[in-house]
């Protein structure tokens, strides 16, 4: 039978266990503080009513109903059936839109760094500050629909062609389509 080599254990120095536990407590506290800070600074998208289907991409245009609030509850913006390019808004709003599905309703909290940052927003006509610097923003958003930019361009071109055809028909003698005069 083989014998296992024995290594004698050295005694633990007085106070070493206390220091070890203190290190564990500090590591846990530091980890909790980092997690809390990360949560406080991150974009929050809460699904109020689930939608369905795919999510919009950066090059899409969305049709949304939304209301924007400051941290004190003051409404600063509202839009109904607003056609908005996903890449044409503040970074936090854009990132939130890319997580939504058609028909869904969402509550979104955007930290200042993903909104207007330290500069805020001032109304150029009145000089009134509508969004103060370093303000976190809250939005209630309903995603009604979205389309790609290419699809919208095709639709606009088709509408323009139809309008031109209607204008051409209206200028025919007698105002009838095709230039024929009713008898």
Architecture of the domain whose range is 42-152: Roll (3.10)
pTM assigned to the model: 0.64
Evaluate if residue 176 carries a pLDDT over 60: no
Residue 7 has pLDDT above 80, yes or no: no
Q: Average pLDDT in the 116-128 region?
A: 91
When pLDDT is averaged across residues 62-83 and rounded to a whole number, the result is 93
Flag whether pLDDT at 129 surpasses 50. Answer: yes
Can you give the pLDDT at residue 1? 60
How wide is the angle at C-alpha 21 spanned by C-alphas 20 and 25, nearest 5°?
120
Is the model's pLDDT at 82 over the cut of 90?
A: no
Residue 36's pLDDT is what?
Answer: 55
d(CA 29, CA 89): 37
Beta bridge partners of 83: 63
| E strands present in 2-88 | 44-49, 60-70, 75-85
pLDDT-based confidence at residue 134 (cuts at 50, 70, 90): very high
* Residue 173 pLDDT > 70: no
- Region 27-48 average pLDDT: 73
Mean pLDDT of 94-113: 97
pLDDT one-digit tens code per residue, 40-63: 569 999 999 999 999 999 999 999
What is residue 37's predicted lDDT score, i.e. its pLDDT? 52
- Are the CB atoms for 85 and 58 separated by under 8 Å? no
pLDDT at 28: 79
The count of other CB atoms within 10 Å of the CB of residue 169 is: 13
Averaged over 60-89, what is the pLDDT?
Answer: 93
Cα of first residue to Cα of last residue in the chain, in angstroms, is 121
Domain boundaries, the chain: 42-152
The mean pLDDT of the chain is 84
């Amino acid at each position: 039978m083989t014998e296992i080599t024995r290594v004698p254990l050295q005694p633990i120095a007085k106070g070493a266990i206390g220091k070890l536990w203190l290190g564990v407590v500090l590591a846990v506290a530091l980890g909790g503080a980092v997690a809390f800070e990360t949560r406080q600074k991150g974009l929050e998208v809460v699904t109020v009513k689930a939608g369905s289907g795919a999510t919009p991409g950066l090059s899409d245009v969305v049709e949304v109903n939304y209301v924007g609030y400051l941290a004190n509850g003051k409404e600063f913006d509202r839009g109904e059936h607003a056609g908005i390019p996903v890449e044409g808004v503040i970074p936090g709003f854009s990132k939130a839109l890319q997580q939504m599905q058609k028909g869904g309703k969402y509550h979104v909290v955007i930290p200042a760094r993903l909104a207007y940052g330290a500069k805020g927003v001032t109304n150029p006509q009145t000089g009134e500050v509508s969004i103060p610097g370093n303000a976190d923003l809250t939005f209630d958003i309903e995603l009604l629909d979205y389309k790609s930019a290419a699809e919208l361009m095709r639709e606009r071109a088709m509408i323009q062609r139809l309008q031109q055809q209607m204008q051409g028909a209206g200028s025919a003698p007698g105002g009838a389509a095709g230039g024929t005069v009713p008898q």
